[in-house]
Structure 1
Amino acid sequence: MDNGFMKDREWRENSTLVGRSNAEEAHIQQWVQFVDCSIVPAFSTWMYPIWGYASYNKLNETQAIEKVKLQLQTLERHLIKKTFLVGERVTLADIAVASSLYAGFKLVFDATFRKEIPAVTRWFTTIVNQPNFKAVAGDFTLCEEALKFTPPKKDAKEKKPKEEKPKEEKKPKAKEPEAEAEETFEDVPKPKSKLELLPAAKMPLDEWKRQYSNNDTPVAMKWLWENIDLTADYSIWKVDYKYNDELTKLYMSNNLAGGLMNRLERARKYAFGCLVVAGEDNANIITGYFIVRGNAEEMIEEVTDAADYESYNWVKVTDVNDEEKKKIDQVFAWDGSIEGKPIMDGKVFK
């Protein structure tokens, strides 16, 4: 979530939506990140094939449904003794999470499904029946029969070629310019990253990723330090979340770290990194290291254009000495402690 209006103290004093304290602000932002990083990806995988936006795969659907149920159980545990997600009044957290579940409760969360999440169902109906919410979304009716994927009818497919055959025979030449146009379009070169202009790296990044995935971390790290060239091919960056003092639950902090990773798709060919969550509930930090292609003094565009980039401090490590290597080893292994706080969880970008 953009921190701009969340930090506007004057506006906050006149609204409970963004919280009445720094702690409430942090809670609200974490729930919004929970939507973005956990609910939306799983729910989209479940529903997009049903809506016709993606091809259907039974295994993917089953896994997505299980992920949605897992996220709903997180909500269920939180809401068993609470009326709202943060504080005692409706906040942006309630609006964001309820909005992300709106289609679910309307289309697929039938009575059997809802039996497993009574607290979430109670909370959801409370939110959608708030006057201001209702004024925008209208009346709401809970799902009675779950919407399911319906494969396209075969009859419809069989009729199309019969109608098109005479057209193809009458005007065979009409296809030629279309084919030429397609070839011309395909010949247009796609824009490349500036990083593609760099000389080939002595250590291919993909090979490092394989080493990390297929070996115990100590073995992989030994290989890394023996092969990486930090004079020209790569640089290492220390990453720290700017608002560590506002973090609360460990799992929420980990979701927050995952949010950054999800937004770095453009950088996948050019970067590898780990973010870890260290500490305990209400006293934890998000920190980590990234290996980045090239050795420029500024972070690459593929990273800086990520939506969450500005929420973190990125500092290039100019002296990767033995002490710094030990810290990087710990982060990449999710082991040990950082700033006196034990590493509890983490996310990998590879």
Structure 2
Amino acid sequence: MDRLTPVVFTDAWGSHVSIASLQGRPIPSPQPESELWMGAHEEGPSGTDRPGSPDLAAVVAADPVAELGAECVERFGPRLPFLLKVLAPGRAISIQAHPTAEQATTLRAMTGDAVYVDGWAKPELLLAIAPFEVFVGMRTHAQVAELAARLHVPRLTELVEKAASATDPAHALLAGVLATPEHEVPDLAREVVAACVRLEAAGDALGDDAAAVVGVAEGHPDDIGLVVLLLMHHRVLQPGEYIDVAAGVLHSYVRGLGIEVLANSDNVVRAGLTCKEVNVPELLRIVNPRADGVAGRGRVVEPGLELFESASDRFVLYRVTPGRVLPSGHGPRIVFCLRGSVVLTSASGTVELGDVGSVFLPANEGAVQLEGVGEVYVVTAPPG
């Protein structure tokens, strides 16, 4: 068992409070802290307590079969197939979508690393540990038309009406919004936000959605992404609720605190609310207007073992009540203690974990007993 030292990322959209509070550090933190990574991703591999202090990516690379197991290496190659994060946006993250593995592989064959840096899909599951506001999935054209009728923004109404005759009106409307000439974007965004300010007073569901756009506008003024948000479903996940986001699903995480598990990939295409590269043609190629995030709660599969179901073939997430053996998994595991004080015991030794502590269990670790009091999560690969 390898105790992990997670990596804190300081993106501008992060929180000055959430991660520092979890780790017991002074708040506000000097810099915004966006993500806490536990895994072997090359951009931020966790530290380990092995002799010489190699990071987890180096540990896996030195002997993939020993660390991941032969089955895992055969299925996914010599890389840890998943990454575990604490996600803490203080303002909206970019509107984005991820490709399927086939889409990424096909484009890489033509363009190399220009757009996608690996041949993987990047499915992800977000579990709220505090209220978490998201925009995930696209409304139907009829639903957007209803909202546009309430907003009374002539330019938006024109785009909606023009898209109505298309074979795929929802996709055509997204394309139309993203094709807005750059010099017209600030005026359109301001008109939309002003209309949302008026509508938020309505006090109904559409008023709540409009209020959410106004909130995002505080951190992203004059951004075309504010118009794109009108085409998307707005949700607030309560603690214990999760959303599973597959390839092709348009999404933006706004603010909150959650545990995120995802495939160990960097493949992302952005459409707005970002200072990073926006690739509209590729986003329109991979987005699926009919694909939505799948929301739910954990399902008890055994006493003390709760499963958060995902369509991904790269990861499976459990919540485990101390006083039982950890799920065995199909390859390596990462164990994360969000809160509490627990002890992990296996044939190789004992590790104590406190708040925000984590360990890596290689494929051959065997049975691990969990004792103590705490909120503990385990991520591993699903069955083949």
TM class, shorter-length: under 0.3
More helix by share: 1
So what's the TM-score if we normalise by structure 1?
0.25
Larger gyration radius, structure 1 or structure 2: 1
More strand by share: 2
